[in-house]
Amino acid sequence: MAGQRSRITRSALVHGQPLMKELDEFTPPEIKKTMQETRGGSFIPGEIMVGLEKMSSKLKIKGAPQALLAAFGLGEGEVCQIDVKESHQDEDGNKFAVAYSLTGEIITVTESASKMGELPDQELEMSVRAYKKVESGKTIYEINRNAQILNLGNGDLMAEHRRNIGMS
């Protein structure tokens, strides 16, 4: 069994702006099911999934250029595309390619306190509409609100439901 992993390198493309050394932190969306209690005539209650909670993501960037920060001011109907690629290696020397693809809207830009002798940084938070995570060619997650795709690693849970309403 493989041991602990280490992130070796990563790069990002944020709304067409390439980042490598500037990308300080990346927080992918938390995938959390929305559950509702069921009981009916049952003595023992249960729960059933009724959807997913809304997704958000964060990037912390050192010295973000103006062209990247302009993604905050995108017009109505425009979306920001963020692609992050990482290379990992475990204790046994196995290497893994991890890719994140997010589509959504930048909802906040927070600038760090201005201190002499420190690099300026900005934190961008995104409301995520579509999210895909792939590891070494295998889909871990693929979620797309507009296309009604929900793949949590074992196939698209919405495929038959889309067919049932005429969405192919």
Contact (CB, 8 A) for 77 and 100: no
165 within domain boundaries: no
First CA to last CA distance, the chain: 40
Low-confidence residues of the chain: pLDDT under 70? 1-2
152 within domain boundaries: no
pLDDT at residue 142, as a whole number: 98
Q: What is the CA radius of gyration of the chain?
A: 19
32 within domain boundaries: yes
Average pLDDT in the chain: 93
156 within domain boundaries: no
Domain region containing 79: 5-37+46-136
17 within domain boundaries: yes
pLDDT at residue 3, as a whole number: 81
113 within domain boundaries: yes
CATH of residue 122's domain is 2.30.110.20
Q: Is the pTM of this model over 0.75?
A: yes
Q: How many domains does the chain have?
A: 1
pLDDT at residue 2, as a whole number: 66
106 within domain boundaries: yes
